[in-house]
Structure 1
Amino acid sequence: MNKPPHSRITMHVDMDSFYSSIEVRERPELRGLPVVVGSDPKGGKGRGVVSTCSYEARKFGIHSAMPISRAYRLCPEAIYLPVNMELYKETSNNIMEILRIFADRFQQVSVDEAYLDIGDSIEDYRSATMLAQKIKQEVLCKQGLTCSVGVAPNKVIAKIASDINKPDGLTVVRPEEKESFLYPLCVSRIPGIGKKTQPVLVEIGINTIGQLATADVQLLISRFGKYGLVMHQLANGIDPRQVKEKEEVKSISTEDTFDEDIFDPGLIKNVFCELTEKVHADLTKKRFRFRTVSIRVRFDDFRTYTRAKTLHAATTDKISITKVAVELMEEFMGCGRFRLLGVGVSKLEKIDERQTFLSDFC
C-alpha cells in the first residue's frame, strides 16, 4: 500500500552551475577559472545576459540574468563562452536517465533539476541519505559533474535544502527538524518569494521564514490574496504537492559516443541502423507514429550539428528512419571524423488502438 504524501521521503536534485560546469568538463583547462556562459560581452558593450557562471565568477559578483556588459565590467578577465544548448540538453537527458533509476516517482522540472519520490522503497532517512550519496556518486562518475541534493518530507523543503550547501552539497531535513531548519532562513529562500514579494513582507516586519510561519494569516491574505495562505503553509513546511511526471512525449531519440572516432561510410550506415532499431523499439512500445526524423553529429573537435527532415505523412516505418538519417548525413561526409552520432523522431502522434497503418505490414 502506498504511504500518504505527508509520510513520504522526497529528494530534490539540483546540478551545480550547470552550463558552466559542462563547459569546464569539456575543457578541463578552464577548471578554477571564472567562466561565464551567455552572450558575447563585446568588450563590455554587449546587450545580452549571463545564462550561468562558475562559482569562481560568482566571487566577483556575477550571477545569472545579469546584463553581460555588467558582468564584463566586474570581471573582464573571465572566460566568456556562448551558450551551447544542444550539449546542455544532451547532458541533461543523460543525467535524468540516471536519476530515474533511483526514483519510485520522478519529475523533471528544468534542464538541471528534478524531484524524486523514494517513499515506496525507502522508509528511513538514514537509508535515504545513503541513496542520495549514491546518486551524487553516479552523476559524478558517469557525467563528470557535481550536484546538490536535498532530502526532506516534501518538495518545498527538499528544494530549499538542496540550495543550502552548494556546490556538491547534501542536506537532510527530517520531519521533526523542519522548524529548526526553516525558521532561521530568509523568506526569499521559499520558491516564489522574489524581488516583488519580499520587500512587501519586510514592510510588515517579516524577514525570516519563522516570522512568516507565525504571522497573522488574515493579514497575509489581505496583502497577497490567496498566495498569502500558500506562503504561510510553505513557511510551516506544509506542501501537499506530489511528485508527478509529465506524460507528454515530444520526441524519441538515442545516440552513440564512440571510443574511437569513425569516418567510414559503411560503418556510419551500420551505426544508424543500430540507432534506428532502438528508436523504433521505443516508438513501438509507446505507440507513436512520427513525421520528423533528425540526426545529431559531433566531430572529433566537438563541433556539433543537428539536421532534420519532415515527411509528408506520419508513419511507423522503421526503414524510413534509417533512410532519412543517411540522407541527412550526406552533408557531413568527408568533413572529418565523428565522435558521436544520434537519431531521433519527433512530431509524434499517438496511435489509435483501433487503427491499423499500412506501414505495419511493410
Structure 2
Amino acid sequence: MTADRDDIPDSPDAEDESEAAGLHKIIHIDMDAFFASVEQRDHPELRGRPVAVGGSSGRGVVAAASYEARRFGVRSAMPSVTAQRLCPDLIFCKSRFDVYREVSRQIRAVFHDYTPLVEPLSLDEAYLDVTEDRHALGSATRIALAIRRRIAEDTQLTASAGVSYNKFLAKLASDQNKPDGICVIRPGEGAAFVAQLPVTRFHGIGPVGAKKMAGLGIVTGADLAAKDLPFLRAHFGSFADYLYRAARGIDLRQVRAHRTRKSVGGERTFHEDLFAPRELTEAVDRIVDIVWDRITHNKARGRTVTIKLKYNDFTLQSRARSLSRPVADKAEFAKIGHALLAELLPLPRPIRLMGLTLSKLEGVAPKKKGDALAQLDLL
C-alpha cells in the first residue's frame, strides 16, 4: 500500500501479477471539496478560509464544505444553521451548478483521454478501468498520477486517487490520503487493508448500521471478516453477502460507462413550510417547469408520475399514477401532478419539501449519475 506522493515507485511485479490473475486495474478519482474548491479558485479572497456552498438561512443546506470548514465539523447535507453554529466565521457561497458542470466536463475529458471505461458517480468522482494502457505508461499508478497532474493543469484543482484491482478497494483507497493524495492497494493486499478499517468506512454502513454492528462486536473490517455468512445473514438479511465479500476485499462489479436511467425528477425544499392549497398548487407549477426541462433534455418518455411530500415532522408520503402510454406533454404532466396533490388534500400538516418524478421510461438517454446532484439546484 502506498501513500500520497507523486514520486511513487512502480511495482512491475505487482502489475504483472494483476494481469496474470486476470484482474482489472481500477482507479477511483475523487475531487477534493469540489464545489467549495471551485469557489476558492474563482474567488482568491476565499482561499484558506472556511467556505460552504449552499443556502445560508432558513431551510438552507450545505452542498459542500472546504477543508477549512470541515475542521469545525461542517459537512455536506448539514443544515446551514447548524454549520454556522459550528463555525461562526463560515462564508456561504451560492451554488453555481453551471460552472461546476463545466469543470466536471473538463475533468471527464481528461478521463476519456486515458480510457473509454469511465463510470461517473457524481460531478466530482468516477471509476476508471485502465486495464488497457492506452498511452503505454506502464502501470495503473502512473496513469493515476498522470490524470491528477492533468486535472491540476487544466482546472487548477486537486484530486485524490485510489488505485486497486476492484471498485470497492479503489474507492476506499481514494479517501485514504485526502486531500491531494493517492493510495495504491495491490493484488494480495486488499484483505489486510480492509481489516484495519472501521466498518463506518464501508459504503452502505451508516450510523444506524454501525451501531447495530457495534452491539454485535463488529467495529473493524477484521471483526466483520471473523463472522461467517450464516451469522451475517441472520442479522443483516440480504445485505450479508455484500458485507461478507467486502470484509475480504472482494468486489466483482465491473466499471460500467453507462447506466440505464429509471426516472427523471426533481424536488424542492422550501424556506418556509407550505400548507395552504394555493401555495401548494403554485409549488407544483414551479416544480413541473424544472422537471419538464430535464425530461425534455433527456428525451425521456415515461408512463408513471409520482408526487412526494415531506412533512414538517420529516415523515414522507407519495402518490403515483400510471398511464397505458407515455405522458404526452408538459400540460398532461402538470395535470397529473395537480391531480395527485388533490388526492392528498387536505394535508394533515404543513410540508417542507415537494418532488415530482416521471418513471417507467422508454427510449431514454443513458443515465449520468452526476445528474442526481441536480436536485441541489432547488435548495
TM range (shorter): 0.5 to 0.7
1:161 maps to a residue whose letter is: A
- SS of 2:241's equivalent? helix
- SS of 1:88's equivalent? helix
Contact 2:133/2:139 (CA < 8 Å) preserved in 1? no
2:37 matches 1:25? no
Question: Measured at CA, do residues 112 and 119 of structure 1 come closer, stay the same or move farther in structure 2, by a change above 3 Å?
Answer: same
Q: Equivalent residue for 1:322?
A: none
Q: Deviations over 1:134-184 (max 9, x none)?
A: 100000000111010000010000000000110001000001111221111
2:228 matches 1:216? yes
TM-score of the superposed pair, with normalisation by structure 1? 0.65
Unaligned runs of 5+ in 2: 1-18, 262-297, 301-328, 330-362, 366-379
2:61 matches 1:49? yes
Q: Equivalent residue for 2:27?
A: 11
Q: Equivalent residue for 1:103?
A: 115
Question: Measured at CA, do residues 52 and 5 of structure 1 come closer, stay the same or move farther in structure 2, by a change above 3 Å?
Answer: farther
Q: Equivalent residue for 1:323?
A: none
Q: Once the 2 structures are TM-superposed, how far is the Cα of residue 196 of structure 1 from its aligned partner?
A: 2.2
Matches within 5 A, 1:110-121: 110-121=122-133
Contact 1:125/1:174 (CA < 8 Å) preserved in 2? no
Query: Whole-Å Cα distance in 1 between the matches of residues 20 and 38 of structure 2?
Result: 38
Q: Deviations over 1:297-320 (max 9, x none)?
A: xxxxxxxxxxxxxxxx9xxxxxxx
Q: Equivalent residue for 2:203?
A: 191
Q: Deviations over 1:181-230 (max 9, x none)?
A: 11110001111111221111111000001111221211110111121111
Contact 2:116/2:257 (CA < 8 Å) preserved in 1? no
Matches within 5 A, 1:58-137: 58-121=70-133, 127-137=139-149
TM-score of the superposed pair, with normalisation by structure 2? 0.62
Q: Deviations over 1:73-131 (max 9, x none)?
A: 11121211111111111111111111111125111111111000011228999722111
Q: Deviations over 1:17-76 (max 9, x none)?
A: 0100010111122110101111123xxxx3221111100011111111111001111112
Contact 2:26/2:140 (CA < 8 Å) preserved in 1? no
- SS of 1:231's equivalent? helix
Question: Measured at CA, do residues 290 and 195 of structure 1 come closer, stay the same or move farther in structure 2, by a change above 3 Å?
Answer: closer
Contact 1:9/1:123 (CA < 8 Å) preserved in 2? no
- SS of 2:139's equivalent? helix
1:62 maps to a residue whose letter is: V
**What stretches of structure 1 move > 3 A for 4+ residues in a row?**
3-6, 122-126
Q: Equivalent residue for 1:36?
A: 52
Query: Whole-Å Cα distance in 2 between the matches of residues 210 and 106 of structure 1?
Result: 31
Query: Whole-Å Cα distance in 1 between the matches of residues 133 and 149 of structure 2?
Result: 20
Contact 1:5/1:240 (CA < 8 Å) preserved in 2? no
2:248 maps to a residue whose letter is: N
Contact 2:114/2:135 (CA < 8 Å) preserved in 1? no
Question: Measured at CA, do residues 68 and 22 of structure 1 come closer, stay the same or move farther in structure 2, by a change above 3 Å?
Answer: same
Question: Measured at CA, do residues 214 and 126 of structure 1 come closer, stay the same or move farther in structure 2, by a change above 3 Å?
Answer: farther
Once the two structures are aligned, what percentage of the paired residues are identical?
40
Q: Equivalent residue for 1:172?
A: 184
2:247 matches 1:231? no
Query: Whole-Å Cα distance in 1 between the matches of residues 211 and 34 of structure 2?
Result: 29
Question: Measured at CA, do residues 156 and 124 of structure 1 come closer, stay the same or move farther in structure 2, by a change above 3 Å?
Answer: farther
Match of 1:201 among 198, 213, 219: 213
Larger RCO (alpha carbons 8 Å, 6+ apart):
2
Contact 2:48/2:68 (CA < 8 Å) preserved in 1? yes
Query: Whole-Å Cα distance in 2 between the matches of residues 125 and 216 of structure 1?
Result: 41
Matches within 5 A, 1:339-350: none
Aligned residues: 254
Query: Whole-Å Cα distance in 2 between the matches of residues 158 and 208 of structure 1?
Result: 18
1:218 maps to a residue whose letter is: P
2:164 matches 1:148? no
- SS of 1:36's equivalent? strand
Query: Whole-Å Cα distance in 2 between the matches of residues 65 and 51 of structure 1?
Result: 6
Query: Whole-Å Cα distance in 1 between the matches of residues 40 and 111 of structure 2?
Result: 22
Question: Measured at CA, do residues 91 and 124 of structure 1 come closer, stay the same or move farther in structure 2, by a change above 3 Å?
Answer: closer
Matches within 5 A, 1:195-344: 195-246=207-258
Query: Whole-Å Cα distance in 2 between the matches of residues 119 and 105 of structure 1?
Result: 10
2:177 matches 1:161? no
